[in-house]
Structure 1
Amino acid sequence: MPGPRLFRSRWAALLWAAGIVWFAYDFTATAPHATAAGKPAATDATGQAVDAADLAALANSVVQ
């Protein structure tokens, strides 16, 4: 966090805030690629694609 010295200058504070906004945009702009249906592709922890059969097997194992 910047000290109070940074905010003595409006321009320095404006540049600091612009950097924070730029970082936030850059961080959130890296979304997963969408599939043909327009939804992001579902993947597991290893990055492998997950289909409905995999989800049904998972749901079945959790219920028991």
Structure 2
Amino acid sequence: MFTYILDEDTELRPLEPAHARHIYQLIDQSRSYLRQWLSWVDATTSVQASEDYVRAALTQSNRLG
């Protein structure tokens, strides 16, 4: 898996379905702030919605790569 180390505390790596719960929790905690700029926030209503997004992004990435 691709991983790019930015510093000792930060790295970039592709999303995986296992990240869905954490993604959803972050969105949910910041929902009122995020909705000012991101129209999709209110449609993200479950961990499953986050997992579906990750899977779709992976599928699209695989088609492009």
Relative to its length, the structure with more strand (as a share) is 2
Q: TM-score, normalised by structure 1?
A: 0.32
Larger radius of gyration: 1
Q: TM-score, normalised by structure 2?
A: 0.31
Relative to its length, the structure with more helix (as a share) is 2
